Copies of this chain bind each other. A is one copy, B any other.
């Protein structure tokens, strides 16, 4: 799977890309491997280029976020259409979804529903040959595109809307596609040891535990480095991956203790720090 996030606010650092980390975590937990995250501007040519490139790499899934709303800078569907080489036109099913939402808002807040303005019509204007996907809590529907064996979902950028569409319409598909793989992880924290001394120990433990991926993360607090060791694997529950992860963590912990390192079950700063 690849992720595409559209939005100038991400490029100028006004917004931290929590949509990408949320999607990465959820897809990983469903046993799907996320290979790349691509962030680009609210510009039709630039996003068309990104969509074209990502589609050409033929991932099983692509999920994009951002640029589906009613304002002029919401251009993702134009970008997708340009990437696919198709036109956009009003989609009857999407139009029904958008209208329904405004009727609901008007009833709830006791305000006039208002006209189907060009800005509202815009949210029902999809690349031809694509399918709207219900947005359980917002106005702009998501869009599903099937292209060259890849399933592309185009989602809005508002986090709770993006998450709601993902859970309702995408997560079940990913779980089936992964063959019910799950992601298991564990962290151990170490201090009083150079990361450069840890490197050969990690090599030894990874060779003895080929299904477990170990990554060290240096964290600095109050001028002293401490290291998080993160153990992870993706596997079917029946293969007892949690046992494999625990075994690797225990082996590396023993090597660190032998070399004089201090170990913590959680990050220093938490309760178990001496």
Contact = CB atoms under 8 A, between A and B. Distances in A.
Interface of A: 8-18, 20-26, 28, 34-42, 46, 50, 53, 69-73, 105, 114, 117-120, 122-123, 139, 158, 160, 183, 185, 194-200, 202-203, 206, 213-220, 230, 232
A200 B119 contact: yes
B218 A69 contact: yes
Contact of A13 (B26, B46, B219): B26
Q: What is the oligomeric copy number?
A: 2
Given A25-B14, A39-B37, A199-B119, A9 B217 contact: yes
Those 10 A-B pairs whose CB atoms lie nearest each other, nearest first = A13-B25, A13-B24, A119-B199, A37-B39, A70-B196, A119-B196, A13-B21, A12-B28, A11-B34, A71-B199
A35 B46 contact: yes
A114 to B, nearest CB: 7
B20 A34 contact: no
15 contacts: A10-B37, A11-B37, A16-B21, A35-B40, A36-B40, A42-B215, A70-B199, A71-B195, A71-B199, A72-B202, A72-B203, A73-B216, A114-B197, A119-B197, A139-B196
A24 B10 contact: yes
Main secondary structure of the interface of A (DSSP, over half): mixed
A202 B46 contact: no
